Structure 1
Amino acid sequence: MAPGVKLMQKVSSTMLFAKIAPHFIPAMDKAVHKLTRGKVILSAQMLPGVILTAKGAKTGEPRTTPLACMPEQDGVSWLLIGSNFGRPGHPAWTGNLLKNPDAEVSWKGQDIAVRARLLAGEERAAAWQAVLKFWPPYATYQARIEREIRLFRLERR
């Protein structure tokens, strides 16, 4: 484990982080991603990340969202976790993917067409265990809220 990861896991589990992070992490990631022409996502220094572009559920307009992810199968698929930093309410991007599952991710400087699938049942349970092993603070986020955190698998199309 890289130095500082345990500290970041502890910090990211706090309520203060849940209140502050949604306001600065996505904006910072979008700016750095744009400045580096898709090569760098600053928050990916702790967790792997993608820039998701999906059609808005209500408008149909492209919506771009930087997200932490769990890569699977050598970049063939990714798990996206709709944790919303452990805050109530599903993040908007999850509703967008439910309505419009065909999307695009920027992954390590490459734009990749993907299809999103909401996980359920045993498949979700297995993915959730993998996610908790990957980033334990997700358990804290889930314990704080009543809704079930949505998990999506993105696969290349």
Structure 2
Amino acid sequence: MRSSRAGLPPRWFVVLFWHVHRALVRRSRGRLGLWRPKPNGWGAMRLTTTGRRTGAPREVVLGYFEDGPDLVTMAMNGWGAPEPAWWLNLQAHPEATAQTKDGTRAVRAHRAEGDERSRLWSRWGEIDKNLDDYAARRPGETAVVVLAPRA
């Protein structure tokens, strides 16, 4: 039986890791720090959004899995309470660029709802057995974000 509170590293460590990982990806131009999803695992991608207030490009490194041609991630902010800035940016400007180990693609983001959300949440639960415990730390529902290819 799982505990009701899966362990997470301290917030300062999570934030430091994000900064170091993003710097590694940026400095290596994606040669390091990005990987394809493994069977029953997630991959790492770099997502470039448009800032909702500045209009400037903003980069973040995120975990994802593939659902057909779509990339799926979660707006979890390290399981902290606030919504991540990249998700707020996508809500204002849904068109973005995703760089995976396989290359760069133009995408359009949307929040998964209803049956789509349930199916994709279940898939994340297969990858991360503590998903529901982590999600319970947040005050609201964690958005499942689908990045669909743009024409």
Look up the SS of the partner of 1:89 in the other structure.
Answer: coil
Aligned pairs for 1:36-55 (under 5 A) are 36-41=28-33, 47-55=42-50
| More displaced 10-residue stretch of structure 1: 46-55 or 110-119 | 46-55
Residue number among 12, 25, 28 corresponding to 1:33 in the alignment: 25
Is 1:114 the counterpart of 2:103 in the alignment?
no
Query: Quick check: 1:86–1:140 contact (8 Å CA) kept in 2?
Result: no
> What is the identity, as a one-letter code, of the residue corresponding to 1:146?
P
Query: Quick check: 2:35–2:45 contact (8 Å CA) kept in 1?
Result: no
Residue number among 15, 20, 23 corresponding to 2:15 in the alignment: 23
Distance in 2 between residues matched to 1:105 and 1:23, nearest whole Å = 21
Alignment correspondent of 1:14? 7
Unaligned runs of 5+ in 1: 1-12
Distance in 2 between residues matched to 1:43 and 1:107, nearest whole Å = 7
How many aligned residue pairs are there?
142
Is 1:83 the counterpart of 2:94 in the alignment?
no
TM-score by structure 2 length?
0.83
TM-score by structure 1 length?
0.80
Residue number among 28, 49, 52 corresponding to 1:57 in the alignment: 52
Distance 1:42 1:107, change over 3 A: closer
> What is the identity, as a one-letter code, of the residue corresponding to 2:75?
G
Distance 1:24 1:44, change over 3 A: farther
| More displaced 10-residue stretch of structure 1: 29-38 or 52-61 | 29-38
Question: Which protein has the bigger helix share?
Answer: 1
Distance in 1 between residues matched to 2:71 and 2:140, nearest whole Å = 22
Query: Quick check: 2:36–2:100 contact (8 Å CA) kept in 1?
Result: no
Unaligned runs of 5+ in 2: 1-5
> What is the identity, as a one-letter code, of the residue corresponding to 1:32?
L
Distance 1:44 1:19, change over 3 A: farther
The Cα of 1:25 is off from its aligned counterpart by 2.0
The Cα of 1:145 is off from its aligned counterpart by 1.8
Query: Quick check: 1:132–1:138 contact (8 Å CA) kept in 2?
Result: yes
